[in-house]
A and B are shown apart, each in its own frame.
Chain A
Amino acid sequence: MRGLFGKRKDPFDGDGLVLFKTTAGALKAEKVLRAAGLDAKLVAPPLSRRRGCDLAVEVNLLETLAVERVLLDSAVRHEGLEVLSSESARLLELVQVVELGDFVMVKAGNMKMTCERRTGVIANVSGGGCPDIPYLFLELVGRVVTECARPRELGSTLCALLLDRAWEESARIVEDREDASRCRNGADPGSSPDLGQSQP
């Protein structure tokens, strides 16, 4: 489909609804998102979803992370990003932990992060389908989970957001084990860990 001046126009995949308290916020959001190269269009939110004004911005749901990053960087406050087509849809919160011998795998939806228990090193990243996942693999695998950048800081898609959930739980597990190890050795759990100590 060609736009007005012959420029190729891709179909708009939206379904993400960003809500605002003020019209000014919605207008600014649309402007900064489009300037950042993200799909965004002003829409009237359904009555039941309004948060203070009758203007919202529809975005590509898949680009949730990128949208939130741009709005944060541009100091544009919003009242939430929801699924336009389903008022009840919620971002998956469930995580599952699988022990694999010396490793622990955390699953969040279709994403998995596996860490070596003793060192906290991210041993593998698997699952997912969005193109930032192979990039996140290269950036994260081999790094200590409590010392690396978060997936949501590096990625742009919903897959990256789910990997971030897995990262969060992985980091918590590694920190809890480090604290437990320091307690067993009589150290202050708040002090820096000695990752060279062997775990029982």
Chain B
Amino acid sequence: MLSAAVETAGHLGIEAPQALLAGDIGDGKGSRAIYRHLVEKSDEIEASILALHYLQPVMGLMKKVVESLGRKRSKPLLVADAGSMYAAKAAGIATAFDVFTPDAAEMAFLADLRATHPAYIASHLLTSGNEDVASMVESAYGHGNAARVLVVKGSRDLVVENGDILHVVEAPDLPAMEAIGGTGDTITGMIAAFLSAGMEPHQAAVFASRANRTAGEYAHARPDTRIEEIIGQIRPVLREHLRRWSETGTVPKEEGEGDD
């Protein structure tokens, strides 16, 4: 996520992201340290965008983070993916977030009212076609378990805002991308950078989805491709395509082309 955000910010010529990192291979200690830091230092955090990612889903601490940030005069836009998204949904505070980026199974998790982790979603929700994804989106919003904007990642990426499917991104179609670890993380990182450049969340989501797929195409993605190969194509993709994609929408700041 971080690398994708750095590459995107570099192309856009905006300030590089800052990161709060802690080591955690599953015991949750590092994650808890991050949650606590965000709570205790919320007054000092001046970020306009906060993207939360591979944190252990600790519902109580996620609630405290969101409450602390909510008391700020200028609340950052909140993006969540991975464990952070699980924690937000399980804690019942999804609507405090501006962007979630679930894949199909995670969309089923958001739609399943009772599940507190994707390991406990009802299995019938996982055998869905595109029409059932739409009903899962409706269910998630109906129960208050979705962020303002969703990017539902799949063979077709759906960009949803407040329950309405605004865009469908389906090209290029690269089935191998689902097998590659990190291809969801790169979307989240690019969204965070685009938001930082002043884009509206739904526009950031569309551009990130398109750029991710196109970077996969440039990298000749195979099931054994590594994510760094795709990240390495983000700047070439943005150089070649972003201005054209922007023609019908908000044009992001592109002061300089960044460093190669």
> Could you tell me the distance between the alpha carbons of A135 and B106 in the complex, rounded to whole angstroms?
21
Against A, the Cβ 8 Å flags (1 = close, 0 = not) of B228-239 are: 000000000000
The reply to whether B181 and A131 contact each other, CB–CB distance below 8 Å, is no
CB distance from A43 to the nearest CB of B (A): 17
The reply to whether A110 and B27 contact each other, CB–CB distance below 8 Å, is no
Q: A89-B120, A100-B175, A124-B179 are in contact. Are A129 and B85 (CB under 8 A)?
A: yes
The reply to whether A66 and B27 contact each other, CB–CB distance below 8 Å, is yes
Residue with the greatest number of chain A CB neighbours at <10 A, chosen from B54, B121, B179: B179
Contact check: which of A85, A98, A124, A161 meets B180 at CB < 8 Å? A124
Considering only residues 89-126 of chain A, those with a C-beta below 8 Å from chain B are: 89-94, 96, 98, 100-103, 105, 107, 109-110, 112, 114, 116, 123-126
The reply to whether B179 and A105 contact each other, CB–CB distance below 8 Å, is yes
**Which single residue of chain B is at the shortest CB-CB distance from A132?**
B26
Interface membership of B97, Cβ < 8 A: no
Interface membership of B31, Cβ < 8 A: yes
Q: Which residues of A contact B126 (CB under 8 A)?
A: 92, 94, 96, 109
The reply to whether B118 and A126 contact each other, CB–CB distance below 8 Å, is no
**Which single residue of chain A is at the shortest CB-CB distance from B24?**
A131
Interface membership of B195, Cβ < 8 A: no
Q: Which residues of B contact A132 (CB under 8 A)?
A: 24-26
Which stretch in B3-11, B58-66, B139-147, B198-206 binds the other chain? B58-66
Q: Which residues of A contact B57 (CB under 8 A)?
A: 13, 62, 129-130
Q: A62-B117, A91-B120, A94-B123 are in contact. Are A12 and B179 (CB under 8 A)?
A: no
> Could you tell me the distance between the alpha carbons of A92 and B25 in the complex, rounded to whole angstroms?
23
- The number of A-B residue pairs with CB atoms under 8 Å apart is 161
The reply to whether A13 and B224 contact each other, CB–CB distance below 8 Å, is no
**Which single residue of chain B is at the shortest CB-CB distance from A128?**
B82
Contact check: which of B119, B180, B222, B224 meets A92 at CB < 8 Å? B119
Residue with the greatest number of chain B CB neighbours at <10 A, chosen from A10, A11, A13, A159: A13
Q: Which residues of A contact B81 (CB under 8 A)?
A: 129
Q: A10-B32, A90-B120 are in contact. Are A37 and B27 (CB under 8 A)?
A: yes
The reply to whether B54 and A100 contact each other, CB–CB distance below 8 Å, is no
Interface membership of B105, Cβ < 8 A: yes
Considering only residues 56-105 of chain A, those with a C-beta below 8 Å from chain B are: 61-63, 66, 83, 85-86, 89-94, 96, 98, 100-103, 105
Q: Which residues of B contact A91 (CB under 8 A)?
A: 119-120
> Could you tell me the distance between the alpha carbons of A8 and B59 in the complex, rounded to whole angstroms?
17
- Chain A residues within 8 Å of B, Cβ to Cβ: 8, 10-13, 15, 37, 61-63, 66, 83, 85-86, 89-94, 96, 98, 100-103, 105, 107, 109-110, 112, 114, 116, 123-135, 137, 141, 155-162
Given A126-B181, A158-B118, 12 extra CB contacts under 8 A: A92-B119, A103-B224, A105-B178, A110-B119, A124-B180, A126-B183, A129-B57, A129-B84, A129-B118, A130-B83, A131-B83, A133-B54
- Chain B residues within 8 Å of A, Cβ to Cβ: 24-28, 30-32, 36, 54-61, 63-64, 81-86, 103, 105-106, 109, 114-121, 123, 126-127, 175-176, 178-184, 222-225
29 A-B residue pairs with Cβ-Cβ distance under 8 Å, sorted by A, are: A10-B36, A10-B61, A13-B59, A66-B26, A83-B116, A92-B120, A100-B176, A103-B179, A103-B223, A103-B224, A109-B126, A110-B103, A110-B105, A112-B178, A116-B224, A124-B179, A126-B181, A127-B184, A129-B57, A129-B84, A130-B56, A130-B82, A131-B54, A131-B83, A132-B24, A157-B26, A158-B118, A158-B120, A162-B119
